């Protein structure tokens, strides 16, 4: 097994490294990574972003968004948790979670934490989930990655997903607390996330007598950054997997009520209709056309509506107010 130390907390860079190791830097041995991120939501490959996350909250808190190349559900990560990756050669076998999760479970046993595989893709302690996992094939490789809730902010994890009502959010947090747990809750002695990482790596590497560490060259790091930008840090990748969906919203502004109806496909507005009791120097068709082709997020809407000269054309309703309401 080969271990590569990963100091980056940038999710795009870290996924870029996975991609590099799966497609360009091909080792015969299994490569092992242990990493973490600043607050981030990782969407599954086939998920609809608009249905999964609470965009206003995510923007307010500065939570990053990324779309994984693997399937499964949305995962929240922060500096209180860890991610692990195994990059291996694809030997044509069926999806096998247990083989890659055994080293994790064995390492946790060294810390007197008794985890178990639930038979699908989760690891649990006494029935409560602390790790979600996913796999995908890329080129001649198979990539297995998973999360480890160590001291993760559970409340922020819930609030960043799509929850509309405060009452529902309260119940959701209670429900999640019943179903998930942090590993730190089950340790016999309190340790920091950094010490936890060191102990996990030591245990996993010690189990393989041929294990070794590999250090990336500066040129390799530059290539990883290029792959990160190309495959993970762009809106086409984030929004492009979204299926077509309809949305209707009604907002009350200082200048009156506006009703919006949109058809959105792959994150962009394809069709638009606007109505209400507002005043404008434009007709309804001109206002609606200003939205066509824009990404359905606050920043894109604001910049797009300004560049299409909507600013100042609707009485007492600014492009910023519209973008803030819709985004």
Cβ neighbors of 42 (< 8 A, separation 6 or more) are: 11, 66, 67, 68, 74, 75, 76, 77
- C-alpha–C-alpha distance, residues 17 and 226, integer Å: 10
pLDDT higher than threshold 50 for residue 165: no
pTM of the model: 0.77
CATH of span 245-326: 3.30.390.50
Domain with CATH 3.30.390.50 in the chain: 245-326
Whole-angstrom distance, CA of residue 152 vs CA of residue 158: 11
- In the structure, what pLDDT confidence band is assigned to residue 85 with cuts at 50, 70 and 90? very high
Identify the CATH assignment for 2-239 out of 3.40.1360.10, 3.40.50.300, 3.30.70.2190, 3.30.930.10.
3.30.930.10
Task: Tell me the per-residue pLDDT of 206-233, one tens digit each, with 9 for 90 and over.
Answer: 999 999 999 999 999 999 999 999 999 9
In three-state secondary structure terms, 148 is: strand
Whether 279 shows a pLDDT value over 80: the answer reads no
Region 50-66: what's the mean pLDDT?
90
Could you give the residue range(s) of every CATH 3.30.930.10 domain in the chain? 2-239
- E strand or H helix at 212: strand 212-213
pLDDT at 174: 58
Is the separation of the CB atoms in 303 and 274 below 8 Å? no
- CB-CB neighbours of 236 under 10 Å: 11
């Amino acid at each position: 097994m080969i271990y590569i130390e990963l100091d980056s907390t940038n999710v795009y860079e870290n996924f870029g490294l996975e991609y590099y190791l799966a497609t360009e830097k091909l080792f015969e041995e299994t490569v092992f990574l242990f990493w973490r991120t600043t607050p981030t939501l990782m969407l599954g490959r086939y998920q609809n972003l608009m249905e999964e996350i609470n965009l206003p909250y995510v923007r307010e808190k500065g939570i990053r968004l990324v779309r994984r190349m693997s399937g499964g559900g949305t995962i929240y990560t922060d500096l209180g948790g860890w991610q692990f990756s195994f990059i291996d050669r694809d030997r044509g076998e069926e999806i096998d979670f247990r083989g890659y999760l055994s080293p994790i479970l064995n390492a946790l046993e060294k810390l007197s934490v008794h985890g178990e595989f639930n038979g699908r893709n989760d690891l649990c302690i006494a029935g409560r989930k602390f790790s979600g996992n996913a796999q995908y094939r890329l080129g001649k490789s198979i990539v297995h990655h998973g999360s480890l809730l160590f001291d993760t902010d559970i409340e922020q994890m819930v609030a960043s997903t799509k929850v509309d009502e405060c009452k529902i959010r309260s119940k959701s947090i209670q429900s999640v607390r019943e179903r998930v747990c942090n590993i730190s809750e089950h340790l016999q002695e309190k340790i920091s996330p950094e010490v936890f990482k060191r102990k996990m790596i030591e245990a996993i590497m010690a189990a393989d007598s041929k294990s070794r560490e590999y250090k990336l060259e500066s040129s390799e790091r530059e290539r990883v950054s290029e792959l990160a930008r190309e495959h993970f840090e762009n809106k086409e990748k984030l929004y492009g997997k979204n299926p077509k969906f309809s949305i209707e919203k009604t907002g009350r502004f200082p200048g009156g009520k506006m009703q919006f109806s949109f058809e959105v496909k792959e994150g962009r507005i394809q069709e638009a209709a606007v109505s209400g009791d507002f005043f404008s120097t434009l007709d309804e068709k001109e206002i609606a056309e200003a939205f066509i082709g824009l990404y359905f997020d606050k920043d894109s809407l604001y910049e797009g509506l300004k560049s299409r000269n909507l600013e100042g054309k609707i009485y007492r309703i600014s492009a910023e107010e519209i973008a803030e309401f819709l985004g």
